[in-house]
C-alpha cells in the first residue's frame, strides 16, 4: 500500500496513535509548529515513509492512515522557528517521541545527533544531523487485554501498608525465579514474589518509576545508568527494559497488565511513583528528544530570558503546568494508567514543582483543582512528595484535602529520637499519633501522613544504624553527591565490624525503628529489603547503581529480622487501635486522663506540660484504648479490641516502668519487646513494675473491659 497516497484527515482526539481496527489515527499538539511530519519505520527501524500532515484543528495536527496495524513503529519530525532566545527550539532533523506513545521499541544511543545544537558550539548554533538512527521508536499498540474480573482493590487508607520497591532490584537476584524473568514485570508477578508479599503482610507496592525513561549521556559514558528511573521522557509508556519480551513490539503492555492482575489477585494494590515535574531533556544544553522539539516554549517553564529554564527540580527543567495542554497530558496519563492499566494510585515525585504559580508553591493551583474535580483520578490514592529544590519548596503539611504526603518531619523526628538527640518528647508524640499539627486543621485525617523511616533516596535501614557518613565513591562524583546530614548513628563503629556489642545494638535499633513505624498512627511505608537487613554499603544515593549495591541480596537475608517485621505488621493489622481513621479526642498533649489516649512517665504518673519540653527526656508510656474498635478473634469472629500500652525507652539506661493503675486494665501481656528476652515474665498486673532495657520498645495488650 502506498501510504503517502492512502491517508485521510483524521481527528484531533484522542492524542497520540489510536488503532480502531481499520487503521490508525495520529494526533500531536504543537502551538508554534509550522510543519509536522509523521515518519514510519519497518521492523528493523529503517525509515519507510514520511507523511506531512496538512490537517490542523486548533493547535492539534492530525492524520488517519487506513490499513495500518498494531506493531507499526513511528516518530515525529516537527518544524518551526529555531530561536532559543525566544524559547523556540524546533529542529526538523530530530526524530521526536510522541508524548502520548503507549510503548516504545529500541534504545537511545547517545551521540551528537540527539542535540539540536552543535556540541562544540553554544546552544544558539543549529545541528542539521538526523537523529533517527539513535532514537527509540514509538509503537502503535493494541489495547485489548483479558482482565477477567480484575478491578482496583480500593483498600481503605487506614488499612494500607505500603512497600516501596524497584521492579528490577527486587527480583534480579531472587534464586527461585527463572533467570530469564529476573528483573522484569513478569518476575514481580511470579507466585514466589506474590507469596512473599502476602506473608510479609503489606497491602500495596509502590513501584519506583516505570514510565519510559532514559539514562543520561554522562552516566552512560561512565558505564553507569539511571537505575532509579527519575528521568522520564514518555508518560504513558511503560519502561521496556523491565520487560521479559523485548523482541516483541508493544508486548511490554500485556506483561505490565499481567503483573498488575497477579498482584491484585494476591490482594496487593499497585501504586506508581510518577515524575511529572521534569523530563529527560534537561536544560538548554540537553538533548532534543520529544517536548523540546515539539514546542519547547509551551511545555517547559522558561526564565525571563527564554533561552534558559526555570529549574525547581535539580534536573535542568520543570514542566509548565500553567499550560492547559501540559495539564491535559498529565491528566490523560493518570487516567490511562487507572483505566487501562488498572493501577491503584500514584506517588508524585517533587510534587511542589507541579503546584508552583509563577514561582511560589500555590496549594490552590490549577493542578490541584483539575485533579480534585476529576471523577476518575480523585478516587485513587494520591501521594505527594511535598517538596522540590526551589525556594519555599518544602511544603510538608500544606497539600490540600484528598492528598496524603510523604511525611519528612516524621522521618526526621523518629531518627533523631532513636539516635539520642535532645529534642523533647512533644514532637515525638505528635508524629506517632498522626501529625495532627500538620493535617488536622484542613480536615484531613491521620492517613494524610505517609510515615517512613527510610526510602529509596538515602540510607537503607541497616545502613542508617551502621554509618555516620555517606560512602558514595562508586557513583564517580568524589562522594560529593547525596545528603550530608542523614540523621544516622553507626552505634559505635563506621560500617562493617566484628564488635558483637555494636552488632547487637544495631540489630536492636533496627527493631526499634521498625516497631515505631508500625505502632504509629498514619500509613506506614516500608522500604523493600529493610525487613531483611539490606545494605548499600553506606551509599545514600545509589541512583546510578544497577548492580549488587542496589539489588536485594536474597541469599543473605536476615531471616530473624524478617520474622520480627512480619510479627509487627501482623500486630498492626490485627488491632484496629493502631489504625485510627480519625484523631484521638485528647490530641492536645496534656497529662489529663482521656478516654482514648493517656501519656505516662516511667514512674507511672501522667505526663504534665513541663515533661514534654525536657529535651533530655527519652522515655514514655502510652495507653491506647481499644474502646469502640473491633478486631478478629482466632476463628475470624469480631470481638472488642484490646487496650494497648506502648513503652518507648530511647535513653542510654535501663529503666523501671510502672504500669498504669487498675482503671486502665488489670492484666497486661507482653506481645513484643525489641530487647532480647527482657521480660522475666509474660504477664503483669496493674501497677506492676517492669524492667525495660535501654534503647528498646515494649508492647503490652490488655483485653478491654466491658
Pairing mode, strands 16-19 and 23-29 = antiparallel
H-type alpha helices, 374-480: 408-419, 425-432, 436-439, 461-464
Do residues 688 and 660 touch, judged by C-beta distance below 8 A?
A: no
Instruction: Classify burial at 616, counting beta carbons within 10 Å of its beta carbon; exposed 0-12, middle 13-18, buried 19 or more.
Output: exposed
C-alpha cell at 373: 474535580
CA-based radius of gyration for the chain:
27
- Catalytic residue, chosen from 206, 239, 284, 385, is 385
Q: Residue 386: CA atoms inside 13 Å, Cβ hemisphere, count?
A: 23
H-type alpha helices, 135-175: 167-171
Do residues 165 and 205 touch, judged by C-beta distance below 8 A?
A: yes
Q: d(Cα 184, Cα 238) in Å, to the nearest integer?
A: 12
Pairing mode, strands 345-348 and 269-274 = parallel
Residue 262, classed as helix, strand or coil, is helix
E-state strands within 30-142: 35-41, 47-52, 55-57, 60-66, 73-79, 82-83, 88-89, 104-105, 137-139
Q: d(Cα 495, Cα 585) in Å, to the nearest integer?
A: 44
DSSP H or E run through 559 = helix 559-574
E-state strands within 358-423: 381-384, 404-406
Do residues 237 and 101 touch, judged by C-beta distance below 8 A?
A: yes
Helices and strands in the chain, H and E counts: 15, 31
Give every CB contact of residue 218 below 8 A, 6+ residues apart in sequence: none
Instruction: Classify burial at 638, counting beta carbons within 10 Å of its beta carbon; exposed 0-12, middle 13-18, buried 19 or more.
Output: exposed
Phi, psi of 155 (to 5 degrees): -60, 130
The question of whether 385 is a catalytic residue gets the answer: yes
- Number of residues that make up the chain: 706
Phi, psi of 623 (to 5 degrees): -100, 130
Terminal-to-terminal C-alpha distance of the chain: 81
Q: Residue 175: CA atoms inside 13 Å, Cβ hemisphere, count?
A: 5
Which letter does DSSP use for residue 705 in this model? P
Tell me how far CA of residue 680 lies from CA of 603, 670, 693, in angstroms. 19, 10, 12
Distance of CA 509 to the CA centre of its chain: 25
Do residues 536 and 550 touch, judged by C-beta distance below 8 A?
A: yes
DSSP H or E run through 194 = helix 191-200
Q: Which long-range contacts does 429-432 make (Cβ < 8 Å, 24+ apart)?
A: 429/589, 429/599, 429/612, 429/620, 429/622, 430/589, 431/407, 431/520, 432/516, 432/519, 432/520, 432/521, 432/622
Q: d(Cα 287, Cα 265) in Å, to the nearest integer?
A: 42
The question of whether 349 is a catalytic residue gets the answer: yes
Phi, psi of 318 (to 5 degrees): -140, 130
Cis peptide before 14 (omega within 30 of 0): yes
- Catalytic residue, chosen from 344, 349, 463, 693, is 349
Which letter does DSSP use for residue 472 in this model? -
Q: Just list the catalytic residues.
A: 349, 385
Amino acid at each position: 500500500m502506498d501510504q503517502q497516497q492512502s491517508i485521510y484527515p483524521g481527528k484531533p482526539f484522542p492524542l497520540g496513535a489510536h488503532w480502531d481496527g481499520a487503521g490508525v489515527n495520529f494526533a500531536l499538539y504543537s502551538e508554534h509548529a509550522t510543519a509536522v511530519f509523521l515518519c514510519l519505520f519497518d521492523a528493523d527501524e529503517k525509515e519507510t515513509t514520511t507523511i506531512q500532515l496538512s490537517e490542523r484543528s486548533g493547535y492539534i495536527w492530525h492524520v488517519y492512515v487506513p490499513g495500518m496495524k498494531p506493531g507499526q513503529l513511528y516518530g515525529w519530525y516537527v518544524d518551526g522557528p529555531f530561536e532559543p532566545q525566544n524559547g523556540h527550539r524546533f529542529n526538523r532533523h530530530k526524530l521526536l517521541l510522541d508524548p502520548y506513545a503507549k510503548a516504545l521499541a529500541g534504545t537511545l544511543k547517545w551521540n551528537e545527533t540527539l542535540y539540536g545544537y552543535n556540541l562544540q558550539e553554544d546552544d544558539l548554533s543549529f545541528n542539521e544531523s538526523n537523529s533517527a538512527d539513535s532514537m527509540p521508536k514509538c509503537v502503535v499498540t493494541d489495547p485489548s487485554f483479558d482482565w477477567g474480573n480484575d478491578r482496583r482493590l480500593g483498600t481503605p487508607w487506614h488499612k494500607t501498608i505500603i512497600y516501596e520497591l524497584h521492579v528490577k532490584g527486587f527480583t534480579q537476584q531472587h534464586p527461585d525465579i527463572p533467570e530469564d524473568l529476573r528483573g522484569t514485570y513478569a518476575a514481580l508477578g511470579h507466585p514466589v514474589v506474590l507469596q512473599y508479599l502476602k506473608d510479609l503482610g503489606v497491602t500495596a507496592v509502590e513501584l519506583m518509576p516505570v514510565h519510559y525513561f532514559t539514562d543520561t549521556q554522562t552516566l552512560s559514558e561512565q558505564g553507569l545508568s539511571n537505575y532509579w528511573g527519575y528521568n522520564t521522557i514518555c508518560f504513558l509508556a511503560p519502561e521496556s527494559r523491565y520487560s521479559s519480551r523485548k523482541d516483541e513490539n508493544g508486548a511490554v503492555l500485556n506483561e505490565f497488565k499481567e503483573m498488575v492482575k497477579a498482584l491484585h489477585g494476591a490482594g496487593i494494590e499497585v501504586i506508581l511513583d510518577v515524575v511529572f515535574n521534569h523530563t529527560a531533556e534537561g536544560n538548554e544544553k540537553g538533548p532534543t528528544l520529544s517536548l523540546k522539539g515539539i514546542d519547547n516554549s509551551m511545555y517547559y517553564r522558561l526564565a525571563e530570558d527564554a533561552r534558559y529554564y526555570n529549574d525547581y527540580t535539580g534536573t535542568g527543567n520543570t514542566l509548565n503546568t500553567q499550560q492547559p495542554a501540559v495539564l491535559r497530558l498529565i491528566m490523560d496519563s493518570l487516567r490511562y494508567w487507572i483505566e487501562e492499566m488498572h493501577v491503584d494510585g500514584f506517588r508524585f515525585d517533587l510534587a511542589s514543582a507541579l503546584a508552583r504559580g509563577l514561582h511560589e508553591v500555590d496549594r490552590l493551583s490549577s493542578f490541584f483543582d483539575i485533579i480534585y474535580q476529576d471523577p476518575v483520578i480523585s478516587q485513587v490514592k494520591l501521594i505527594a512528595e511535598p517538596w522540590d529544590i526551589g525556594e519555599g519548596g518544602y511544603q510538608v503539611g500544606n497539600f490540600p484535602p484528598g492528598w496524603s504526603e510523604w511525611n519528612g518531619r516524621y522521618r526526621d523526628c523518629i531518627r533523631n529520637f532513636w539516635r539520642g538527640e535532645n529534642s523533647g518528647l512533644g514532637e515525638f508524640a505528635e508524629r506517632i499519633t498522626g501529625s495532627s499539627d500538620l493535617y488536622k486543621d484542613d480536615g484531613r485525617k491521620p492517613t494524610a501522613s505517609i510515615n517512613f523511616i527510610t526510602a529509596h533516596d538515602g540510607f537503607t535501614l541497616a545502613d542508617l544504624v551502621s554509618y555516620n557518613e555517606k560512602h558514595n565513591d562508586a557513583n564517580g562524583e568524589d562522594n560529593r553527591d547525596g545528603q550530608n546530614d542523614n540523621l544516622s548513628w553507626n552505634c559505635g563503629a563506621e560500617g562493617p565490624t566484628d564488635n558483637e556489642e555494636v552488632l547487637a545494638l544495631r540489630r536492636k535499633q533496627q527493631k526499634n525503628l521498625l516497631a515505631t513505624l508500625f505502632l504509629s498512627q498514619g500509613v506506614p511505608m516500608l522500604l523493600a529489603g529493610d525487613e531483611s537487613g539490606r545494605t548499600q554499603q553506606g551509599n545514600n544515593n545509589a541512583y546510578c547503581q544497577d548492580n549488587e549495591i542496589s539489588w536485594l541480596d536474597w541469599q543473605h537475608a536476615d531471616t530473624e529480622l524478617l520474622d520480627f517485621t512480619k510479627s509487627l505488621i501482623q500486630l498492626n493489622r490485627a488491632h484496629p487501635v493502631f489504625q485510627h481513621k480519625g484523631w484521638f479526642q485528647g490530641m492536645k498533649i496534656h497529662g489529663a486522663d482521656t478516654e482514648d489516649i493517656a501519656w505516662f512517665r516511667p514512674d507511672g504518673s501522667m505526663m504534665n506540660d513541663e515533661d514534654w519540653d525536657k529535651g533530655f527526656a527519652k522515655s514514655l508510656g502510652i495507653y491506647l484504648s481499644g474502646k469502640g474498635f473491633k478486631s478478629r478473634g482466632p476463628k475470624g469472629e469480631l470481638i472488642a479490641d484490646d487496650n494497648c500500652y506502648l513503652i518507648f525507652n530511647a535513653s542510654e539506661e535501663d529503666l523501671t516502668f510502672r504500669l498504669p493503675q487498675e482503671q486502665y486494665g488489670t492484666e497486661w501481656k507482653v506481645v513484643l519487646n525489641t530487647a532480647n528476652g527482657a521480660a522475666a515474665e509474660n504477664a503483669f498486673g496493674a501497677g506492676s513494675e517492669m524492667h525495660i532495657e535501654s534503647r528498646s520498645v515494649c508492647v503490652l495488650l490488655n483485653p478491654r473491659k466491658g
